[in-house]
Amino acid sequence: MPTPTQQKLFGVIGYPIAHSLSSHLHAFLYEKLGLDACYHAYSVAPSSLAAAIAGARALNFSGLNVTVPHKQTVLSFADSLDESAAKVGAANTLIFSLRGTRAANTDAAGFVQNLRQYGIDLRDRQVLLLGAGGAARAVAWAAIQAGSKRIFIDNRTPERARELAVSFGLQLAQRDTILSLPAGSIIVNATSVGMAPDADATPLRPAHFRNDLIYADVVYNPLQTRFLRQAEACGAQTVDGLGMLIWQAVRALELWLKQPIDIDPWYEALRSHLLEKLRAASERGQREAVRGA
Ligand code: ATR
């Protein structure tokens, strides 16, 4: 029987955090890996971020995931940043060691790995990135790292698109950019448009769906966003956002354990498990909405 101090402690901090799938995802991984570890979601208000990180260190946590709204502010509490966190300007993973707190961004690697799972290599492809927030920054960096040929950016607030274009050397999308992309180019929705409860929203007009492009979403709730349904309806290949969530978690765990993890044998089982949790959460949400009406 292991003593409690041998058990590895992990968690995710965010605000709000109630809808996070991460504790289900990590519990599944720990069981399959036979890892004596636990992972919980903690609601941490921005004013408590420093205390939460110091507290986790004091309690001997091995690491934390960090989500909205802390991904950028957390950088100032880290002793060192890995290249992805420094380039993206945001971190989703903290690694605690005797040398201090290291911040990493595994969202970027998660995005690339998710596409790979669908047999899509970003090398030499053109990308149109929709959005200019934290998720878009991670995708932009991922695409640059993976060798994308040209990356265009479009965003509701043009100044934010311009800023990202300047810092990453991207091109601003023009009115006809989608129509002039070569076949096999990828359109990535890195906005929050289409996310529950606004699931009827979509970031593109109907004329912007082509059957020779690939449409990827970072949104995973709902899994089949309207954006992906529109793309599928016109015969295009689509990639949902759940895989990115899975792969960023696997990369974080690899950083914490300092060893590679092979999830291929149970990747599909993990996806099904998470889909069930998503379904249950959305049914609960609907019941609550009905009660609230
Ligand atoms: P995250 O860190 O998750 O990316 P964020 O920084 O709030 O979150 O960014 C959200 C992105 O979705 C932004 O690109 C935002 O556009 P603005 O920069 O104009 O705010 C985009 N977004 C959110 N709601 C939108 C909407 N209704 N229509 C178009 N874009 C929207």
Hey, whose CA ends up nearest to atom 30 of ligand 1? 156
Q: How far is the CA of 217 from the centre of ligand 1 (A)?
A: 13
Q: How confident is the model at residue 290 (pLDDT cuts 50, 70, 90)?
A: very low
Q: How confident is the model at residue 226 (pLDDT cuts 50, 70, 90)?
A: very high
Does the pLDDT at position 113 exceed 80? yes
Cβ 190 vs Cβ 222: under 8 Å: no
Hey, whose CA ends up nearest to atom 8 of ligand 1? 133
Q: Indicate if 71 belongs to the active site.
A: yes
C-alpha distance from residue 129 to each of 92, 108, 135, 170, 276 (Å): 20, 14, 10, 10, 30
C-alpha distance from residue 274 to each of 6, 55, 214, 224, 281 (Å): 28, 29, 24, 14, 10
Residue in 8, 71, 87, 258 annotated catalytic: 71
Q: How confident is the model at residue 5 (pLDDT cuts 50, 70, 90)?
A: low
The predicted model gives 84-104 an average pLDDT of 97
- Residue 82: what pLDDT? 97
Q: How far is the CA of 195 from the centre of ligand 1 (A)?
A: 11
The string of pLDDT tens digits covering residues 55-82 is: 999 999 999 999 999 999 999 999 999 9
pTM value is: 0.94
The predicted model gives 146-153 an average pLDDT of 96
Q: What is the mean pLDDT of the chain?
A: 94
Bridge-based pairing of strands 100-104 and 93-97 is: antiparallel
The predicted model gives 214-236 an average pLDDT of 97
- Residue 281: what pLDDT? 85
User: What tokens does 81 get?
Assistant: 């940043």
- Residue 291: what pLDDT? 45
